[in-house]
Chain A
Amino acid sequence: MSTENIQVVSRRGFLGTIFSAGAFVLGAQLLPSEAQAATLAADTAWHPGIWLGLEPDGTLIILAHRSEMGTGIRTVLPMVLADELEADWKRVKIEQAIGDTKYGSQNTDGSCSIRDFIVTIREAGASARLMLERAAAEKWKVPASECKAANHQIVHKSGKKLGYGELATLAALQPVPKKEELRLKSPSEFRYIGKGVPSTDLDDIVVGKGTFGMDARVPGMVYASIERSPVYGGKLKGFDDKAALAVKGVQQTVVIDGFKPPHNFQALGGVAVIADNTWSAMQGRKKLKVDWDLGEHASFDSEAYKKSLFETARQPQKQVRNIGDVDAAFAKATKVHEADYYVPMLAHAPMEPPAAIAEVKNGKATIWTATQNPQAVQETVAAALGIQKEDVICHVTLLGGGFGRKSKPDYVAEAAILAQKLNKPVKVVWSREEDIKFDFYHAVAAMHMKAGTDVKGRPTAWLQRSVFPTIGSTFDASARYGQEFEMGMGWVDLPYDIPNHRAENGPAQNHVRQGWMRAVANIYHAFAIHSFIDELAASAGRDRVEYLLDVIGTPRHLDLEAQGVKYWNNGKPIADYPLDTGRLRHVIEVAAEKSGWAKKKPVKGRALGIAAHRSFLAYVCAVVEVEVDDKGQVKIPRVDIAIDAGQIIDPDRVKAQLEGAAVFGASIAMLGEITAVNGQIQQSNFNNYRVARINEAPYVTHVHLIPSNAIPVGVGEPGVPPIAPAICNAIFAATGKRVRDLPIRKTKLV
Chain B
Amino acid sequence: MVQLKVNGVAKQFEGDPEMPLLWYLRDLLELTGTKFGCGQGLCGACTVHVNGVPTRSCLTSLQSAAGKTVLTIEGLSANGTHPLQQAWKQFAVPQCGYCQSGQIMQAAALLKEKPKPSDRDIDEAMQGNICRCGTYQRIRQAIKQAAGVKA
Contacts and interface: CB of A to CB of B under 8 A. Distances in A.
Interface of A: 68-72, 198-199, 201-203, 205-212, 214-215, 217, 223, 248-249, 277-280, 282, 349-353, 398-403, 429, 431-433, 652-653, 656-657, 659-664, 685-687, 691-695, 697-701
A207 B33 contact: yes
Interface string B92-107: 1011111111001000
A20 B36 CA distance: 36
Interface residues of B, number: 60
Nearest 4 CB-CB pairs, A to B? A208-B33, A663-B134, A400-B98, A70-B95
B122 interface: yes
A700 B131 contact: no
A217 B42 contact: no
B30 interface: yes
Contacts of B98: 212, 350-352, 398, 400-401
Contact of A403 (B31, B38, B132, B140): B132
A694 B126 contact: yes
B8 interface: no
A653 B92 CA distance: 9
Interface string B70-81: 001110110110
Contacts of B137: 659, 697-701
Interface string B126-146: 111111111111111000000
A400 B33 CA distance: 12
A690 B36 CA distance: 18
Contact of A206 (B16, B26, B100, B127): B100
A351 B40 contact: no
B74 A207 contact: yes
A223 B96 CA distance: 24
A208 B134 contact: no
Given A208-B34, A694-B122, 13 more contacts: A70-B97, A210-B97, A212-B32, A212-B97, A215-B32, A279-B16, A350-B132, A353-B37, A663-B136, A664-B134, A692-B134, A692-B136, A697-B136
Contacts of B96: 68-70, 350-352, 398-402
B115 interface: no
A652 B138 contact: no
Nearest to A68: B96
Given A399-B96, A687-B40, A351 B131 contact: yes
A206 B23 contact: no
Nearest to B135: A660
Contacts of B138: 656, 659
Interface string B13-46: 0011001100100111011111111111011010
A367 B15 CA distance: 29
Interface of B: 15-16, 19-20, 23, 26-28, 30-40, 42-43, 45, 72-74, 76-77, 79-80, 85, 88-89, 92, 94-101, 104, 122-124, 126-140
Contacts of A663: 131, 133-134, 136
B92 A652 contact: yes
A433 to B, nearest CB: 8
Contacts of A694: 122-123, 126-127, 129, 131, 136, 139-140
A351 B43 contact: yes
Contacts of B100: 205-206
Contacts of A697: 134, 136-137
Contacts of A351: 35, 37, 43, 45, 96, 98-99, 130-133
B134 A278 contact: no
Contact of A432 (B16, B38, B88): B38
Q: Which of B45, B96, B123, B124 has the most CB of A within 10 A?
A: B96
A202 B129 CA distance: 19
A209 B33 contact: yes
Contact of B94 (A206, A432, A661): A206
Contact of B92 (A71, A202, A353): A202
A656 B27 contact: no
23 contacts: A205-B100, A206-B104, A207-B77, A207-B85, A212-B97, A223-B27, A279-B20, A350-B96, A351-B43, A351-B45, A351-B131, A398-B96, A398-B98, A400-B35, A400-B96, A431-B39, A659-B134, A686-B130, A691-B130, A693-B128, A694-B129, A695-B127, A701-B137
